[in-house]
Amino acid sequence: MGVPNTSPWSLRVAVLTAMVGAATIAAPASAQTKTSTLDVGATVTKNCTVSASAIAFGGIDTTSTAARDGTGGISVTCTFGAGWSAAADKGQGADATVATRQMAGPNGDVLNYGLYKDDAHTVAWGDGTGETEEIADTGNGLAQPKPIYASIMPNQQTAHAGSYADQVTVTLTY
């Protein structure tokens, strides 16, 4: 019998052959795969909300010949990109208009007042009829506060002392 070949080269070949053989024996069977797609979708709808903060004039001196100003506001939250407009009706006064509203008080008395889009009181806030304008903007997804300026007209000396109130409906269109 001959002497086995123990050269480093032959040892490397033997080890490599043994590893390949072991890997072939240990290799799992080839797995098969299939793919599919999962569709995902949503529809963003236009939505808006509106809230209002009251205008409280406090104590009024009807013997004064100056107007009494006050400020309140509305806050509109709309879907990003949704155009909107906010209109105000004439309120509950029997002879009120959107240009001149009326707060009702004791003895059938009224206090005339106006609502405005600007602090100079040059643009009446209403429903877009007559000399009034609506408030309009485009939604940004966040609350958009809009100030409402108010003024009780001067020279209403015949109003009796007591509480006066009105309620204006705000209609949001989007």
Say if residue 79's pLDDT is above 80: yes
| Nearest-angstrom CA–CA distance, 156 and 102 | 12
What's the predicted TM-score (pTM) here?
A: 0.77
- How much is the average pLDDT of 128-147? 97
CATH of domain 48-57+65-156: 2.60.40
For 24-75, how does the pLDDT look when each residue is reduced to its tens digit (9 = 90+)? 555 567 899 999 999 999 999 999 999 999 999 999 999 889 999 999 999 9
| Nearest-angstrom CA–CA distance, 137 and 173 | 11
| Nearest-angstrom CA–CA distance, 126 and 69 | 18
Q: What pLDDT does residue 116 have?
A: 98
**Domain boundary assignment for the chain:** 48-57+65-156
